[in-house]
Structure formats: C-alpha cells, structure tokens
Amino acid sequence: MKKLFYLLFGSLLFLASCNNDDDGLNIDGNPDPTNTDVTVQNFIWQAMNLWYFWQQDVPDLADNRFSTDEEYTTFLAGTSDPEDFIQSILFQEDRFTFYNSDYTTLVNNLNGVSKSNGLEFSLRFTDASQNEIVGIVEYIVEGSDAATKAIQRGDIFTRAEGQVLTINNYIDLLFEGTDTYTLTLAEFQNGTLVETGEEVTLTKFEGLEENPILIADTFDVNGTTVAYLMYNRFNRNFNSELNDAFGQFIAAGATELIVDFRYNPGGSVNTSRLLASMIYGTNTNELYIRQRWNDKLQEAFEGNLEDFFANNVNGQTLNSMNLSKVYVITSSGTASASELVINGLEPYIDVVIVGETTRGKNEFSITLVDDPEREGSPFVYTSSREDQINPDNSWAIQPLVGRNENADGFSDYTNGIQPDIVLEEDITNLGVLGDPTEPLLARALQEFDGGLDSKQNFEVKVSSRFFTSSKMEGPLKDNMFYDIPKAFFE
C-alpha cells in the first residue's frame, strides 16, 4: 500500500509537468500564489484539485483553469472567507463535505471525542404540517450529563428554551446555540401529543467519547444461541473491543447474529471492513469493496483500488463467526459505513434486513490538512506529521473523495437499501434496548423458529417520519471516512 501512494504521487507530478511545461506556472505543474494573504484558500484549492471526487466536474478545479500564478492569486483572493471559498468549489450534488478551522477539532470529532450532553435523539414529523417537529429520545450515553438527569429512552420533547421546535429553529436551539438548553417534555394521551409541564436542563461538555458497542448479548431461542450486537458508530478507537465482543459470541456458542444499525450513521471504512470480516470470514484474498476515485486518481492508481477482508485487529487475531446469513436492523438514520457493510456482504451471504429503508449514502472522505510536502500522499492527515503542518494554517477539510462498490460491482443505493421485513419504530412504544420484547429485536428473533414470543403484536400506533437526528447534526454527521490502516502511510 505504501508503494501505491509513492506511485500515485510520482504519476501525478509526471502528468502535471508534462501538461504544463509552457503555461507560466511553477515547475511541478501546480499554480503558486504570488502572496501569502491567500494561504488558506491555496491549501483548499490544491487539496481539492488533487483529491476531490468531482474534481473533473468543477470548472474552477480544472488543472488548466489558470494561465498564470497572478490569475490564480486573484481567484483565491476573490473569496476571503474560507467557508465561502469551499462552498464555491463544491459540486452541486455534494451534500456531505465538511470542514473546520481547527484540524485538531475535526480529528477529535472523527475519533468520537466532541462536546456532548449524551442525549441521542431523532427529530420527527408526527403530522402533516411539515414544519413542527418533536424530539424522540433514543438512548443516553453512559457517563454523560444526560445520564444524571430525569430523562430516558422513549421520552418526547416538543420545545427547547420554551420555543416550539420547527425545521427553521432546531439548529439554533439544539446544536449551534449555547451549550446548555432546557427541554419541555410531552406524552401521547389517547393518540394526542400533550405537554406534561416537565422540563429537563442539559449541558454539553468536552471530551465525552461514546463506546459504540451499546449492547453485546446472546439469547437462547428454542435451543439456538443468537448473538445480538447494537453498534452505534464505526469508531476506530474501539476496534479491539468490537473484536472482543465477537470473541464472547463465539465462546457462548452463538451460531446466529443480529446486528442493530438503526442508530448508526456511519464512520470508519476500515472498521466496516473489520466488522464485515467478523461476520463473514477472514479470507484476505476475497474482495470486500472496490474504490472509485476521481478521473486522474483512478488512472494513477492503475487498478490498485481493492480492499479485502481482514484477519487481524490491531495485531490480534480477528474473531469471525463465519456466517452464511446475518440479520440487520435498520432505520432511516442508518447510513454510510453501515450501508457499506450490508452491500459488501451481499455477494457472499444472505443479509436479511428488518426495519426501514436506509439513508442511501455511498461516498467516503479523508482528512486533508496543509501538509503538501507529505511524501506519497500530500495533504493527507496523520498524527505523526503534526509538526509538519503549516503553522500559519490550521484549517482541515473532509471532502468526499470516492465511492465504493461490492465484489459484484454494485453501488447504486443512493435511494437507500430497502428492508426485507418492514417495521418502523413506534414512538409510543420504543421498548427497552436489548430486551427480547423490544419490537424491532423481537421481530428479528421471530425469524428463528417463532422466536421468544411469536404472538407479540407489532402494530405501530403512531407513525412518524424521520427528519434528522442528534448524530446527523453533530460534528461527524453521517460521514464515511476512508481511514487507511497505519501501514498504508508509514
């Protein structure tokens, strides 16, 4: 893999020098600003020109866009605000590229460390107004401020800071306002949502890192040991813990598996590869996914775009259940790396989906910082080179740089992956996560010879439509980032 990036970098420099011998630009073919007032914009343009998935579709990112360095400098200086500059060069279909003025904040967010009160919730429409929304508490993060307050899964809130939540004010009230807010609770009475008068005040704190393995348990279903994993984010910091959970499943004699992705918006591509290997197998000659980059990178990679199943985790032997079938619970909030696992496993095993149609997000990203001299992979962040990042520019961007297809060449799920067994969560009866009577888990368990309670009624009394969630509005959103293993860089 290291050799691949050396070849990539060399190929790009060769192509650039051949194409730009007489255009008045600097020797490596890249435009060079004539003053230092555009340091941030220069980094953004150079990095996006190299890595952005839609580079060939954005005229202002074209390799031959500028005839002289002066023209390039004028272009960069024309948009003084870095955020506005980034927005000006994004492809119209790009909804997911994001950025931060401090790369350390972005990196911490990708590692699951950010400011949070520990309340994880969805925002939903419960009527036809398409304006007012309500919050549904999904779960509480252990060790958080919310864990110390009188609020729990299934609680409903309609107001924040006394204001009724709408699609126009929810961001200011819940996400970009102050770190402390007060929620007004409500409940359904005879099918009507009524405020109870109860209020809960929550405060966000720095440094809360959620363990994405919320539940790892087994059930005896008519003599069959069924493992259940509720996994809420593809966080690379917990890869070893994920492997340990599968070791426990194997030790318990589990022969079936239910993976619950209903609240998982994505994350690390490499962690998705590891989880898929824990489910299916450790044959490193079998293709998990194949990457597709922008036109010039696709050519430079020369076909070296394949990621195979894994056989180790952080130097430890990977625990695999070697299954031929897996059951996956999904919702409208299931996205990116979660969908990648489903699609990557489809060519090899039977994936039975219980729940709702997924979000439909198939682009991945990488973290780019102002480190153009990084040999083999310019601008790509790694912690070992923090002292090489331009001290005058702390900006980082997380652009979409590619898409993934499975071993059958399929990647067309932008409208979401549809379930085999349709069942939405009933916001009046969410149940207790991990309890075999919780509706979605209970419905999956019914697939094993009638399950634990074959008579359970799954009627949804109050239907709601998903709008967004605390995770999708948080720093990581529903991002899927391509975090290549350490050996790829070093």
Specify the pLDDT at position 11: 43
- pLDDT (tens digit per residue) in 154-201: 999 999 999 999 999 999 999 987 899 999 999 999 889 999 999 999
Q: Is residue 477 part of a domain?
A: no
Q: Which of 162, 161, 193, 195 is nearest to 175 (CA)?
A: 161
Specify the pLDDT at position 63: 95
**Looking at the predicted structure, is the pLDDT value of residue 371 above 50?**
yes
Q: What percent of the chain has pLDDT over 70?
A: 90
Domain boundary among the residues 174, 191, 208 is at 208
Please give the residue range of the domain that contains residue 201.
116-208
Total number of domains in the chain: 3
pTM score: 0.84
Specify the pLDDT at position 29: 59
- CATH number, domain of 168, equals 2.30.42.10
Q: Is residue 299 part of a domain?
A: yes
* Average pLDDT along the chain: 89
- CATH number, domain of 219, equals 3.90.226.10
Asked whether residue 311 falls in the same domain as residue 452, the answer is yes
Asked whether residue 58 falls in the same domain as residue 121, the answer is no
Q: Which has more confidence, 483 or 157?
A: 157
Specify the pLDDT at position 5: 45
Which are the contacts of 205, defined by CB distance < 8 A and separation ≥ 6? 115, 116, 117, 144, 145, 179
Helix (H, G, I), strand (E, B) or coil at 227: strand
- Average pLDDT value for residue range 376-399: 94
Asked whether residue 356 falls in the same domain as residue 306, the answer is yes
Q: Is residue 463 part of a domain?
A: no
- pLDDT (tens digit per residue) in 200-247: 999 999 888 899 999 999 999 999 999 999 999 999 999 999 999 999
**Is 344 exposed, middle or buried (CB count within 10 Å of its CB: 0-12, 13-18, 19+)?**
buried
Asked whether residue 35 falls in the same domain as residue 87, the answer is yes
**Looking at the predicted structure, is the pLDDT value of residue 1 above 50?**
no
- Average pLDDT value for residue range 282-299: 93
Q: Is residue 488 part of a domain?
A: no
Asked whether residue 217 falls in the same domain as residue 274, the answer is yes
- pLDDT (tens digit per residue) in 28-39: 458 999 988 999
CB 98 within 8 A of CB 391: no
CB 349 within 8 A of CB 407: no
Asked whether residue 164 falls in the same domain as residue 126, the answer is yes
Q: Is residue 374 part of a domain?
A: yes
Asked whether residue 445 falls in the same domain as residue 328, the answer is yes
Q: Is residue 478 part of a domain?
A: no
Asked whether residue 378 falls in the same domain as residue 393, the answer is yes
Alpha carbon separation from 8 to 31, 280, 381, 404 (Å, rounded): 19, 32, 17, 19
Residue type, 242: L
Asked whether residue 162 falls in the same domain as residue 219, the answer is no
CA distance 465 to 127: 9
- Which of these ranges, 110-114, 359-363, 439-443, has the smallest mean pLDDT? 110-114
Asked whether residue 355 falls in the same domain as residue 375, the answer is no
CA distance 188 to 196: 10
In 168-270, beta strands by DSSP E: 180-189, 192-203, 205-209, 213-221, 224-231, 256-260
In 254-373, beta strands by DSSP E: 256-260, 287-292, 306-308, 312-313, 316-317, 325-330, 350-355, 363-365, 368-369
CA atoms in the 13 A half-sphere facing the CB of 114: 20
- pLDDT (tens digit per residue) in 236-277: 999 999 999 999 999 999 999 999 999 999 999 999 999 999
Q: Is residue 90 part of a domain?
A: yes
Asked whether residue 90 falls in the same domain as residue 28, the answer is yes
Asked whether residue 92 falls in the same domain as residue 190, the answer is no
**Looking at the predicted structure, is the pLDDT value of residue 112 above 70?**
no
